[in-house]
């Protein structure tokens, strides 16, 4: 059996693109977050999917976006939609984030798809890819819980707010806000401490 680094999303890529391209859920929060970054800031969109609607909102805000996703089909859809945006086909937990540091990082709809250890590791990796003062926005339920992903049927899990805040703190990131969008998705917003 081949290791599916996309956590099941390669097999359901078409359904995922169709669902995400029809919704603006969370876009207002992403836009608000983007406005907190430098006017010509750089952002890495981790688990970008086809780029709709998150990458589109970041570009509309005037930011320079680099993106990555583990699903070849989703990366191909991204390239068709955003041919001028740098994108890599690789799992977030193995990424070097283009060997650069960014003003911001987003991981919308990704964190809870990863095993618990990989979630903790990814937070540390993101901290390393942020400039001092850089911001990280990601979604995960506030409560510690587990459930089956609607599209893939695979197990998803949230570490819960207390654990996310602890892991972020250990990585040098302070939670500065939490948000809930119109679909009742929970967002953690963190900022990297100055060196």
Q: What is the pLDDT of residue 24?
A: 74
Residue 4 lies in a domain: no
Q: Which residues pair with 69 in a beta bridge?
A: 89
Give the contacts of 96 (CB within 8 A, at least 6 positions apart).
none
- Which tokens is 194 given? 């100055």
For 40-51, the pLDDT digits (tens) are 999 999 999 999
Instruction: With CA atoms as reference, report the closest residue to 178 among 33, 35, 59, 51.
Output: 33
Residue 118 lies in a domain: yes
Number of domains observed in the structure of the chain: 1
For 134-168, the pLDDT digits (tens) are 999 999 999 999 988 877 777 899 999 999 999 99
Q: What is the pLDDT of residue 1?
A: 37
- The CATH code of the domain that includes 158 is 3.40.50.150
Residue 54 and residue 60 in contact, taking contact as beta carbons nearer than 8 Å: no
Residue 140 lies in a domain: yes
Residue 2 lies in a domain: no
Residue 6 lies in a domain: no
pTM of the predicted protein model: 0.92
pLDDT mean over 56-69: 97
For 179-192, the pLDDT digits (tens) are 999 989 999 999 99
What is the helix (H) or strand (E) element at residue 36, kind and residue range?
Answer: none
Residue 44 lies in a domain: yes
Instruction: With CA atoms as reference, report the closest residue to 181 among 53, 19, 24, 15.
Output: 24
- Which tokens is 180 given? 């809930």
Q: What domain range includes position 173?
A: 13-192
Asked whether the CA dihedral 114, 118, 124, 130 is positive or negative, the reply is negative
Residue 7 lies in a domain: no
């Amino acid at each position: 059996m081949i290791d599916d680094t996309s956590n099941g999303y390669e097999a359901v890529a078409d359904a995922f693109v169709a669902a995400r391209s029809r919704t603006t859920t969370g876009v207002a929060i992403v836009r608000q977050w983007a406005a907190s970054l430098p006017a010509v800031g750089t952002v890495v969109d981790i688990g970008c999917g086809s780029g709709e609607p998150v990458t589109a909102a970041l570009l509309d805000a005037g930011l320079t976006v680099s993106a990555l996703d583990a699903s070849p089909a989703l990366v191909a859809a991204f390239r068709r939609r955003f041919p001028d945006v740098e994108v890599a086909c690789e799992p977030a937990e193995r990424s070097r984030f283009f060997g650069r540091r960014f003003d911001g990082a987003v991981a919308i709809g990704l964190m809870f798809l990863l095993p618990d250890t990989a979630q903790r590791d990814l937070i540390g990796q993101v901290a390393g890819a942020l400039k001092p003062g850089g911001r990280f926005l990601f979604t995960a339920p506030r409560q510690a819980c587990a459930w089956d992903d609607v599209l893939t049927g695979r197990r998803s899990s949230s570490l819960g707010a207390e654990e996310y805040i602890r892991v972020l703190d250990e990585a040098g990131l302070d939670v500065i806000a939490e948000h809930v969008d119109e679909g009742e998705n929970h967002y953690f917003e963190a900022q990297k401490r100055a060196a």
